[in-house]
Structure 1
Amino acid sequence: MEGKTLARIGAIVFVAFAITATVIEMTRKDEPAPARAVPVLQSPADPLRATLRRCQRLGEAATGNADCLAAWAESRDRFLGRTPAPAASNSNEGR
């Protein structure tokens, strides 16, 4: 008899817990989250990003475009955490 009584008490506690959780969930007022003007994942306007998108639309022709090559180099440097190399001076300028 001891086992049956313990099982009954356990079942009553479980049912009481389930009913309490259900009542709490049903009485909870769901307030919609405030809408944000800007999506969370969207970063501020980045000229490099715009250039990379333009180069993406160019397709294979972008491989010969100097602006695209420079944008890819800058993007690669950002990704790898490198500081951009200083602009090399043209050795024919003084001649």
Structure 2
Amino acid sequence: MDGKMLARLGAVVFVGVAITATVIELTRKPEEPQVRTLVHERDDTDALRQVLRRCRDVGEAATRDPTCLDVWAKARDRFLGQGPKPSQPGGTMTLAPEAPVTLFPTEDPAIKESAPAAEDAAPVAQPEPVRPGAH
């Protein structure tokens, strides 16, 4: 067999395989898509969702709202798959403090008393600023 005959034989085999694959694909019956409906059970999660949305819309004031803090704790526990803590009776969360707590007070008497006087403190050396273009 020479090269031309081998090439022709290969082409005929290739065309035969392609035609066979096409016929098999065209005669195959299409599978019917499986339609499944998701059942959504409505329970207290809708009420929880409504309170969470209200807390979201309140904004920063929600961080001081005991209801929002309680609902966030319940949602976090539900998300993490945790039950109520055993130290808490009935699984109720500890409520937030009544008055907001200032994280950074402007003037604290305890700090004022323990701080050294201004004349006792040594001056702090400031580094020389680097000017652009100056080497």
TM-score under structure 2 length normalisation: 0.44
Among 34, 47, 71, the alignment partner of 1:68 is: 71
Equivalent pair of 2:52/2:72 in contact (CA under 8 Å): no
Gapped regions of structure 1 (runs ≥ 5): 90-95
Work out the CA distance in 2 between the residues paired with 1:49 and 1:2.
Answer: 78
Say if 1:52 and 1:68, in contact at 8 Å, map to a contact too: yes
Identical aligned residues as a percent: 40
Partner of 1:85: 85
Q: State the match for 2:53 in structure 1.
A: 57
CA positional deviation for 1:35: 2.1
In structure 1, C-alpha distance between the alignment counterparts of 2:21 and 2:87, rounded to whole Å: 66
Q: Deviations over 1:49-73 (max 9, x none)?
A: 5356334532243653144222332
Higher helix residue share: 1
Q: Is the 8 A contact 1:77 1:83 kept in 2?
A: no
Residues 1-95 of structure 1: pairs in structure 2 closer than 5 A:
2-38=2-38, 45=41, 47=43, 49-50=45-46, 53-58=49-54, 59-61=56-58, 63=63, 64=65, 65-78=68-81, 84-89=84-89
Moved more, 65-74 or 44-53: 44-53
Which residue does the alignment assign to 2:118?
Answer: none
Partner Cα separation in structure 1 for residue 76 and residue 33 of structure 2: 40
User: What displacement does 1:22 show?
Assistant: 0.8
Q: Look up the equivalent residue of 2:73 and give its one-letter code.
A: A
RMSD over aligned Cα, in angstroms? Answer: 3.3
Q: Which amino acid aligns with 1:24?
A: I
Give the count of matched residue pairs: 83
**TM-score for the superposition, normalised by structure 1:** 0.57
Partners of 2:73 and 2:43 lie apart in 1 by 13
In the alignment, structure 2 segments of 5+ residues that lack a partner are 90-135
Letter in 2 for 1:5: M
